[in-house]
C-alpha cells in the first residue's frame, strides 16, 4: 500500500446522502481494481471486519466492475458518467446478500500508480440499474 494516498474527501453536490463531516463509504482502488484502502463505513456496509477488504478485487463487492470493465480510460470515463447520472449498480455483502448502490469515481494522485476513490451510496429507491 502507498502511504502517499490522500484520504481527504469533499462531498459532491449531486451525490445524495453525503454531507461534510460524514465518513463516506469509500474504497481506494488501483487501475486494475484491487482494493488498497477501505473506509470503516465501507467495511460496515459490506459486512467485513476492519482491514479484511484490503487486497480484494472490487468485482467481489461490485460484480459489474470486472477487470475488463475498468481497464481503459474510456471505460473509466463511462463509469464516472454512469455514477454522475445516478445509475445503480449491483453490490454484494460478505454474506452474499445483494443491494443496489450508486457510485462516484474520483481519480487520486499517486506517484507510483493510477488510483481512484470509489464512493458508494446505498440506493434508497429503485433506479435504473447497470447490471
The pLDDT score that the predictor gives to residue 19 is 52
Average pLDDT over residues 40-48: 96
Q: Lowest mean pLDDT: which of 41-45, 51-55, 83-87?
A: 83-87
**SS3 per-residue string spanning 29-89:** EECCCEEEEECHHHHHHCCCCCCCCCCCEHHHCCCCCCHHHHCCHHHHHHHHHHHHCCCEE
The pLDDT score that the predictor gives to residue 129 is 58
The pLDDT score that the predictor gives to residue 74 is 81
Percentage of residues in the chain having pLDDT higher than 90: 41
Q: Around Cβ 104, how many Cβ atoms within 10 Å? A: 21
For the CA atoms of the chain, what is the radius of gyration? 14
Task: Take residue 31 and report the three cell numbers written for it.
Answer: 487501475
pLDDT, one tens digit per residue, over 5-19 is 444 444 443 444 555
pTM beyond 0.85? no
The pLDDT score that the predictor gives to residue 127 is 56
- Residue pair 124/86 in contact by the 8 Å Cβ criterion: no
Average pLDDT over residues 43-58: 95
Task: Take residue 3 and report the three cell numbers written for it.
Answer: 502511504
- Sheet with 98-108, strands from edge to edge, namely 35-38, 25-30, 115-122, 98-108, 88-92, 129-130
| CATH 3.30.450.20 is right for the domain spanning 25-130 | yes
* Residue 84 predicted with pLDDT over 90: no
Confidence of residue 66 (pLDDT cuts 50, 70, 90): confident
Amino acid at each position: 500500500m502507498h502511504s502517499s494516498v490522500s484520504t481527504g474527501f469533499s462531498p459532491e453536490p449531486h451525490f445524495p446522502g453525503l454531507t461534510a463531516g460524514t465518513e463516506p463509504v469509500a474504497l481506494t482502488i488501483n487501475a486494475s481494481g484491487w482494493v488498497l484502502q477501505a473506509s470503516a463505513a465501507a467495511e460496515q456496509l459490506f459486512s467485513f471486519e476492519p482491514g479484511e477488504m484490503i487486497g480484494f478485487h472490487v468485482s467481489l463487492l461490485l460484480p459489474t466492475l470486472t477487470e475488463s470493465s475498468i481497464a481503459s480510460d474510456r471505460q473509466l470515463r463511462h463509469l464516472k458518467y454512469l455514477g454522475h447520472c445516478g445509475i445503480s449498480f449491483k453490490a454484494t455483502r460478505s454474506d452474499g446478500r445483494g443491494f443496489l448502490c450508486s457510485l462516484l469515481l474520483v481519480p487520486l494522485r499517486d506517484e507510483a500508480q493510477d488510483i481512484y476513490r470509489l464512493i458508494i451510496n446505498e440506493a434508497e429507491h429503485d433506479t435504473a440499474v447497470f447490471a
